[in-house]
Amino acid sequence: TGTLTQNNMEFIECCIDGFQYKHRGASSELDGFCVTDGPVNKLQQKAGREKEELFLRALCLCHTVQVKESTEQDQREDSLDQVDGLRIDENVLQPPQKERGFIASSPDEIALVKGAMRYGFTFLGLESKTMKILNRNRDVEMYDLLHVLNFDPVRRRMSVIVRSGSGEMLLFCKGADSSIFPRVRQEEVERIRLHVERNATEGYRTLCVAYKRLSEEEYAQADAGLREARLALQDREEKLLAVYNQVETGMSLIGATAVEDRLQEEAAETMEALQRAGMKVWVLTGDKMETAKSTCYACGLFQRKTELLELTVRTLEDGERKREERLHELLGEYHKRAVQDAPPVKAGGTRVRFASNQDYGFIIDGASLSMVLNSSSESNMRSYKDLFLQICQNCTAVLCCRMAPLQKAQIVKMVKSSKGSPITLSIGDGANDVSMILEAHVGIGIKGKEGRQAVRNSDYAIPKLKHLKKLLLAHGHLYYHRIAHLVQYFFYKNLCFILPQFLYQFFCGYSQQPLYDAAYLTMYNICFTSMPILAYSLLEQRISIEDLIEDATLYSENAKNAMLRWGLFLYWTGLGAFHGLVFFFGVRFLFSNPALQDNGQVFGNWSYGTIVFTVLVFTVTLKLALDTRHWTWINHFVIWGSLAFYVFFSFFWGGIIWPFMKQQRLYFVFANMLSSVSAWLVIILLILLSLLPEILLVVLRNPRGPYTRKMKHRLPSSGTSTIFMLSQTASTHSFSWSD
């Protein structure tokens, strides 16, 4: 979901001790709070105010944010990574210092620190392990930072242990509700759960905040455990995790936060285009299910008519029944609805659509996915995987929430190895997405506000999600066509080149006499025919970029590998064989009359081979010219320049006596050949005869190819430029093809 959103977090509201608080805005009181359902009597107000201040101190202390003094240049430029310029409202308390900026590994932390600042608690910075905050009374509070229990995707929380000025030891913890709720007193959970679920349903990103007072003995035990684990040479991560879990127990729940992260521009249009192009879109995210579901609705992956099939811990809890029994039952039920009752499939691979056909969306969380992938029975595990994949492949969209990075990679690997071996593409913008990006066939990183890890480990890098539409639908389509044509053309032009040489052996007594000169043999693929196809494979646009983006269904032809099927390969092979036969036997037939030269002399063996080679070079080059739909000055230069270079080289190579050569077979051969009107006639006739079928195809009907069967598109103008982005090398999307 972070890939779909701007990662520009804005603190919206918070819930403290079960009461909802919203920011009043510029006309607020100094504390900035608007208590919509708070306490009514004075005793409750006093207790509530203490909880408020404790909650705000937690937001100011439990993070890894750094304070940066803003320069004039920082204020003028948009920050690239995690620098977020901070401008303080006049009606909110602020320290009498220069304008500051915040730097953090996650934009969530910046939003929470700025949210606390709205309410009168300002984080001043960290100096020599001492954290300073400015409270509502404009007093500076100082806390010694003793330990930081870093965030990780498995724990889904982070904590800090601090010592206040009075010597009190405090542990502050923030994280996902599924991670915090089991570690706090359960009577406190119900007062906040309702607010968290409501905020998640509205599409806000939620975090819960808890704290714990530590005695000297508890801190000494935690300190010793942390130091020992950090110094361990083996299994350091596992030992640290065990100590973290031991320390982060028995906490008290203070409240929860709601942060808004709006959709990126054109996110909905991009998702719609990808689905119309024939892709299955899966959203893999660590967010809460309600938040991720709301985002999927907002970007159009789920429609109001979509029936959601939910496989989560909540749906697996059914009284006395075991979860695995309930999992087996739900998978069977969903399989029947989404797969067995689905409409039949036509011969072309597309599904018959009835008016009453129901669209399904599938939702699964990390805990349920672990049960599917790691069943106690190996036979059940294989059965669960197969059912899960079949259900997902028959759904319009799939949402996997509360996913750890390893689980994201497991899903991509599972889809890659499924029946049909679909092509997968993973796109993400954070470090949590790296494993998934590396696992997919194609990995794309977005230059977002969560660092450069995704970009550095990706195959392609794009600035925003909306550019994925052009990258796939336009550049992906064009480069598939270009490379497919390049492969077929290479087979064709080399068959044209080799077949006359092969046939010549039957007429030279099998003496291994070459038909072409050694220079021609060497330079045919290196110089004479290489540049035109190179320019074609970089610049050709059979359909304009605007039409490809507008009609996403054109991209679906690529999924069927229409340009590299056996039928088209056999066509190119047959065309190459036909041209090779025309080159060899056409020249041989015309050579049957010995008086080919004006002086009555006959051509020799090397003249015969040179005429065949000349017809060959001109024919394969002009064949590519006939296939070219998008002409630029580069195409003109390399096509006509290659032909001119061949003529120039032949004159140059045969017009000089080279002292380093013992025998010069082509001396004056090319010039002598072109002095004969008969040779000119042979060359022109054979070129026209070879290209006649191709010319008729171009003139009498639309250009051959799978794309022009759908609609007649306008060809791009010669001024259209083509840009292809290639990189040097949580929140995600995984796209997979399914024929």
307: domain CATH number?
A: 3.40.50.1000
On whether both 378 and 482 belong to a single domain, the answer is no
Question: CA-CA distance, 43 to 41, in Å (whole number)?
Answer: 6
492 Cα distance to chain centroid: 35
Q: What are phi and psi of 274, to 5 degrees?
A: -65, -40
Residues 445 and 480 in one domain: no
What is the pLDDT, as a whole number, of residue 669? 78
What pLDDT does residue 156 have?
Answer: 86
User: Do the domain assignments include residue 286?
Assistant: yes
Tell me the C-alpha distance between 453 and 437, whole Å: 10
Domain co-membership, 507 together with 392? no
391 and 367 both lie in a single domain: yes
Are 70 and 84 contacting, i.e. CB atoms less than 8 angstroms apart? no
Residue that terminates a domain, selected from 244, 260, 276: 260
Residue 723: inside a domain, yes or no?
no
Q: Is residue 603 part of a domain?
A: yes
In a domain, residue 726? The reply is no
Regarding whether 446 and 512 lie in a shared domain, the answer is no
Domain count, the chain: 3
Question: Please, is 341 exposed, middle or buried when counting C-beta atoms within 10 Å of its C-beta (0-12, 13-18, 19+)?
Answer: exposed
Are residue 498 and residue 628 in the same domain, yes or no?
A: yes
Residue 493 sits in the same domain as residue 428: no
Determine the 3-state secondary structure of 207 from DSSP. strand
Range of the domain at 102: 10-142+175-212+256-260
Is residue 72 in some structural domain? yes
The DSSP symbol for 350 reads P
Residues placed in the known binding site for Mg(2+): 1, 429, 433
Residue numbers in the known binding site for ATP are: 1, 109, 151, 174, 205, 285-287, 402, 408, 432-433
3-state SS, 488-518, equals HHHHHHHHHHHHHHHHHHHHCCCCCCCCCCH
Contacts of 500 (CB under 8 A, 6+ apart): 515, 580, 583, 584, 612, 616
Res 685: pLDDT: 92
Sequence-ordered strand ranges (E) for 645-727: none
258, 717 Cβ separation under 8 angstroms: no
Amino acid in position 600: G
Q: Are residues 556 and 664 in the same domain?
A: yes
Q: Phi, psi at residue 619, to the nearest 5°?
A: -70, -50
In a shared domain, residues 477 and 447? no
459 within some domain:
yes
Same domain, 383 and 505: no
Residue 469 near residue 274 (C-beta atoms within 8 A): yes
Phi and psi based region of residue 245 (left: phi greater than 0; alpha: psi -120 to 50; beta: remaining): alpha
- What is the distance between the alpha carbons of residues 152 and 147, in angstroms, rounded to a whole number? 15
Q: What is the pLDDT of residue 154?
A: 78
- Average pLDDT, consecutive stretches of 10 residues, N- to C-terminus, the chain (739 residues): 82 86 50 45 57 90 82 47 39 47 82 88 89 89 91 86 91 90 85 87 88 92 91 88 90 90 87 90 89 87 88 77 81 84 50 58 90 71 82 90 90 90 90 91 85 88 91 92 94 94 86 84 91 94 90 83 88 94 88 60 74 93 93 95 92 72 68 80 91 85 49 44 35 44
Q: Please check whether residues 347 and 306 belong to one and the same domain.
A: yes
φ and ψ of 592, to 5 deg: -65, -25
Q: CA–CA separation, 468 vs 209, rounded Å?
A: 37
Residue 149 forms part of a structural domain: no
> In degrees rounded to 5, what are phi and psi of residue 424?
-115, 145
Alpha-carbon separation of residue 509 from 86, 591, 650, 721 (angstroms) = 88, 18, 28, 54
- Closest listed residue to residue 302, CA positions, set 287, 313, 292, 311: 292
Domain identity same for 321 and 365: yes
Distance between CA atoms of 428 and 458, rounded to whole angstroms? Answer: 9
Local structure of 120: helix, strand or coil: coil
Binding site, annotated residues: 1, 109, 151, 174, 205, 285-287, 402, 408, 429, 432-433
Would 158 be classed as within a structural domain?
A: no
